[in-house]
């Protein structure tokens, strides 16, 4: 669908993207999340695709056609930015109808399409309301409806939920993914948030310093990060070595079954990859002293100081700083790095 071929973007002498290669759009994968830390070039790439940033090198093709000489307003791509950029002082209906009026749709067609879009984004009764009276979540739904109304070939979402609170972000991430799939519109969403990427993306592309380092379905990404940087960006807090033979891995925290080729591997551990419990005897492969306790909504998290380094873990037991605990590894929560 979309081919990024050796693309470069510069701001004066500053190189933002250099020789970037990326292909987006496969059957059964309508939504691609472009995930990476702030400042890595995600938004610049999206703006280049939209035609809002000139290329210093390379080509961008959509369905095989080079977009180099196609201005932004002729690419037929819908774009939603972080702040929505609605037209203040106008009604919801007027905002959603804007692109349709520019394309000279008839009044009857516009009324029908606006009503259809407001139903799709679950705001059917707010057409006459001024956009200045909307909540943040409602405003982003209207921006989405406006972008989808002209039936774009591609939808580009640039951090669309970054300004919202955590609860609303998770709710809207799910809803937006449902909306764009219902509209059958191929979509790229830029985000630095792992949860948003997982909730919205059928495929996640990880970006680092202007380079796409991994492209995979969410489950594959979490369990098989391509390298240690990617693993740590995706939530890994400790990395250990393991020797694998016949799908059995020997690790410093104990044995586990692991689907990986024979040989030495690097394993990434998130807090939920390790369980801690009070010691009742010398039956743990690794023991340590609790150095930090945090009671989080998902459970109690510990940082345990051990002879192999500090290990983050979870527990259901009441422990305090200074307690000695034993650690055990949770095989299904372990990431195999670079395999």
Question: pLDDT tens-digit profile of 26-66?
Answer: 666 789 999 999 999 999 999 999 999 999 999 999 999 99
Predicted local confidence at residue 28, as pLDDT? 66
pLDDT tens digits, residue range 84-100?
Answer: 689 999 999 999 999 99
pLDDT average, residue stretch 280-287: 72
- 268: β partners: 239, 335
pLDDT of residue 281 exceeding 60, the answer is no
Task: List phi, psi (to 5°) of 206.
Answer: -95, 130
| Greatest distance between any 2 Cα atoms in the chain | 79
User: DSSP class of residue 127?
Assistant: T
**What number is the average pLDDT over the span 144-155?**
92
Residue of 199, 197, 188 whose CA lies nearest to 77: 188
When pLDDT is averaged across residues 123-148 and rounded to a whole number, the result is: 92
Do you know the residue count of the chain? 339
* Helices and strands (H, E) in the chain, number of each type: 8, 20
| Cα–Cα distance for residue pair 180/163, rounded to 1 Å | 20
> Looking at beta carbons, which pairs linking 161-166 to residues 24 or more positions away fall under 8 Å?
161/191, 161/193, 161/196, 162/82, 162/191, 162/192, 162/193, 163/82, 163/83, 163/136, 164/136, 164/137, 164/140
pLDDT at 27: 61
φ/ψ bin of 159: left (φ > 0), alpha (ψ from -120 to 50), beta (otherwise):
left
From CA 40, how far away is CA 16, in angstroms rounded?
Answer: 8
pLDDT at 265 over 90: yes
| Distance between CA atoms of residues 94 and 99, nearest Å | 10
Q: What is the pLDDT of residue 285?
A: 79
Look at 111-115, 166-170, 172-176, 188-192 and tell me which has the smallest mean pLDDT.
Answer: 166-170
**Percent of the chain whose predicted confidence (pLDDT) is above 70:** 97
Give the pLDDT of residue 49.
Answer: 96
**Residues 97, 309: Cα–Cα separation, whole Å:** 59
Instruction: Specify the pLDDT at position 182.
Output: 86
- pTM across the whole model: 0.90
What does the pLDDT read at residue 282?
58
Query: How many angstroms separate the Cα of 318 from the Cα of each of 174, 207, 274, 284, 312?
Result: 35, 40, 16, 18, 16
> Residue 331: is it exposed, middle or buried by C-beta count within 10 angstroms (0-12/13-18/19+)?
middle
Span 203-211, average pLDDT: 95
pLDDT, average across residues 271-283: 82
CA-nearest of 16, 36, 34 to 24 is: 34
Tell me what the mean pLDDT of segment 266-282 comes to: 87
Is residue 134 over pLDDT 60? yes
% of the chain at pLDDT higher than 90: 77
Tell the residue number behind the tokens 């070939």, with chain if given.
Answer: 153
Average pLDDT, whole number, for the chain? 91
Helix or strand run (H / E) with residue 111? helix 107-120
- Domains in the chain: ranges and CATH: 2-224 (3.40.50.300), 231-337 (2.40.50.140)
Concatenate the DSSP letters of all residues of 275-337 into one string. Answer: EEEE-SSS--SEEEEEEEEEEETTEEEEEEEETTEEEEEEESS---TT-EEEEEE-GGGEEEE
- DSSP class per residue in 3-53: EEEEEEEEETTEEEEEEEEEEE-BTTB-EEEEE--TTSSHHHHHHHHHTSS
Summarize pLDDT for 3-30 with one digit per residue, the tens.
999 999 998 889 999 999 999 976 667 8
């Amino acid at each position: 669908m979309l081919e990024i071929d050796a693309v470069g973007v510069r701001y004066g002498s500053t190189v933002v993207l250099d020789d970037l290669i990326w292909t987006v759009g496969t059957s059964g994968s309508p939504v691609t999340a472009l995930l990476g830390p702030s400042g890595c070039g995600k938004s610049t790439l999206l703006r280049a695709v939209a035609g809002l940033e000139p290329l210093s090198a390379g080509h961008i093709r959509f369905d095989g056609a080079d977009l180099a000489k196609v201005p932004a307003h002729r690419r037929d791509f819908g774009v939603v930015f972080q702040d929505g950029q609605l037209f203040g002082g106008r009604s919801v209906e007027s905002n959603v109808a804007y692109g349709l009026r520019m394309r000279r749709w008839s009044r009857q067609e516009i009324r029908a399409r606006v009503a259809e879009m407001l139903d799709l984004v679950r705001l059917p009764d707010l057409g006459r309301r001024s956009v200045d009276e909307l909540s943040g979540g409602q405003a982003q739904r209207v921006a989405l409806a406006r972008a989808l109304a002209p039936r774009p070939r591609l939808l580009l979402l640039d951090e669309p939920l970054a300004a919202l609170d955590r609860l609303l972000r998770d709710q809207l991430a799910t809803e937006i993914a449902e909306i764009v799939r219902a509209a059958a519109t191929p979509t790229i969403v830029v985000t630095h948030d792992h949860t948003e990427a997982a909730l919205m993306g059928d495929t996640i592309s990880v970006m680092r310093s202007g380079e796409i380092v991994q492209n995979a379905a969410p489950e594959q990404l979490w369990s098989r990060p391509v390298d240690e940087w990617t693993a740590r960006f995706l939530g890994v807090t400790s990395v250990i070595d393991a020797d694998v033979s016949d799908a059995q891995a020997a690790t410093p925290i104990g044995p586990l079954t692991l689907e990986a080729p024979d040989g030495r591997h690097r394993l990434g551990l998130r807090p939920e990859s390790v369980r801690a419990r009070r010691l009742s005897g010398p039956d743990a492969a690794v023991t340590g002293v609790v150095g930090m306790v945090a009671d989080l909504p998902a459970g109690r998290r510990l940082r345990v100081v051990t002879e192999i380094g500090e290990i983050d873990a979870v527990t259901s037991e009441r422990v305090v700083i200074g307690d000695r605990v034993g650690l055990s590894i949770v095989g299904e929560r372990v990431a195999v790095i670079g395999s």
